[in-house]
Amino acid sequence: MAYYYFSTDRICTVSDSEDSNKSAEEEKFADYQCYICYEISLNIQECKTCERIFCNRCIDDITKSKPPGTEVPCPNNCVPWALDKPHRSVRNAIETIEFYCVNHSKGCSLKLKVHNAEQHIQNECEYTMMRCLNEGCVKEMLRKDLKKHFEEEC
């Protein structure tokens, strides 16, 4: 079984077990994964020849690895690599994916969508690591423990 979490510009997959069988949820989103890194990115392009999706991070990595002015072929062997923004339906589908907070492993059980993930992580998640706001204190703790630390320890 796998779960998803949001990290900066992409929705990452984490497997809870070593089972190699894909769940129905994983199969549902397979069409939206980058053909190279297999993560679901918010910043994507599509090869208009093979209709595969690539994230901008992987495209940049491939482009940087080639000498300037060199034609960069599609990893699916399309020549030339004709990249364009994917259809609106693909972008809309990615925005409907529900995933766990990046702090899922620390205890946050909230499921999010792209449009509210960053707000939750930056301002609301009780399981985000925070530094004590008291001058001179360098302790870091979960947001949920900050008030108690400030009142009783600091």
Tell me, yes or no, whether 25 lies in a domain. yes
Does some domain include residue 88? yes
Same domain, 123 and 54: no
Q: Which two tokens stand for residue 90?
A: 């693909």
The CA distance from 151 to 74, in Å, is 57
Q: With H, G, I as helix, E, B as strand and everything else as coil, classify residue 145.
A: helix
Return all residues near 120 (Cβ < 8 A) that are at least 6 apart: 101, 110, 112
Q: Quick one: pLDDT at residue 11?
A: 66
The tens digit of pLDDT for each residue in 25-44 reads 667 777 888 999 888 887 89
Q: Are residues 40 and 92 in the same domain?
A: yes
Residues 29 and 89 in one domain: yes
Mean pLDDT for 115-122 is 85
Structural domain contains residue 107: no
My answer on whether 96 and 121 are in the same domain is no
pLDDT tens for 54-105 read 999 999 998 888 888 888 888 888 877 889 999 999 888 888 888 888 888 8
Q: Residue 13's pLDDT is what?
A: 60
**Using 50, 70 and 90 to split pLDDT, how confident is the model at 1?**
very low
Q: Are 21 and 14 in contact (CB under 8 A)?
A: no
Any domain includes 151: yes
The whole-model pTM stands at 0.65
Q: What is the mean pLDDT of residues 1-26?
A: 57
Q: What is the chain's mean pLDDT, rounded?
A: 83
What is the band of 140 on the pLDDT scale with cuts at 50, 70, 90? very high
Tell me what pLDDT residue 23 has.
59
Containing domain of residue 125, as a range? 117-154
Residues 139 and 84 in one domain: no
Q: Which of 153, 133, 132, 129 is nearest to 143 (CA)?
A: 129
